[in-house]
Amino acid sequence: MAIINSKVKPFKAEAYHNGKFITVTDTDLQGKWSIFFFYPADFTFVCPTELGDMADLYPEFQKLGVEVYSVSTDTHFTHKAWHDASDTIKKIAYPMIGDPTGAITRGFDVMIEEEGLALRGTFVVNPEGEIKVAEIHDLGIGRDASELLRKVKAAQYVASHPGEVCPAKWKEGEATLAPSLDLVGKI
């Protein structure tokens, strides 16, 4: 089954956020844009580079009204320990969800069952709880938060401009397309 346009499955989890443990549920997503940023594990190699990159651009996502949730199958306690131990992870101001049962990870279909770890999965969720962007990487391939920021802007633009679509490499402020019979074969 394709995950695009599907609803986020109900969940409830503990997260480490701004020095506290908090509970995050699927109802927290209602009415705002969200990003779920799955990664294999705390205290690893590629993961801190990605999470640090996301932390650097987090203020830009916040300006767009987007909440970022990083998720691994570690516990929220492990997230705190990693936050306390790593200068890169100390920069994180977004919630770090612990998913030790793997329920959320399986709900987004990014669980590596044999290892109990998540693939590198990135999902952009609209205010109605529908997945609009899904990208899954193998463990050795890191992601780029600036490209994700571009995709969020495109998803928000399309959502607020019915009848328009964003072409390849579209950036905010550039021309969009209005699909019609007149464009067929002319692009």
- Residue positions annotated with a catalytic role: 47
SS3 letters across the chain: CCCCCCECCCCEEEEEECCEEEEEEHHHHCCCEEEEEECCCCCCCHHHHHHHHHHHHHHHHHHCCEEEEEEECCCHHHHHHHHHHCHHHHCCCCCEEECCCCHHHHHCCCEECCCCEECEEEEEECCCCEEEEEEEECCCCCCCHHHHHHHHHHHHHHHHCCCCECCCCCCCCCCCECCCHHHCCCC
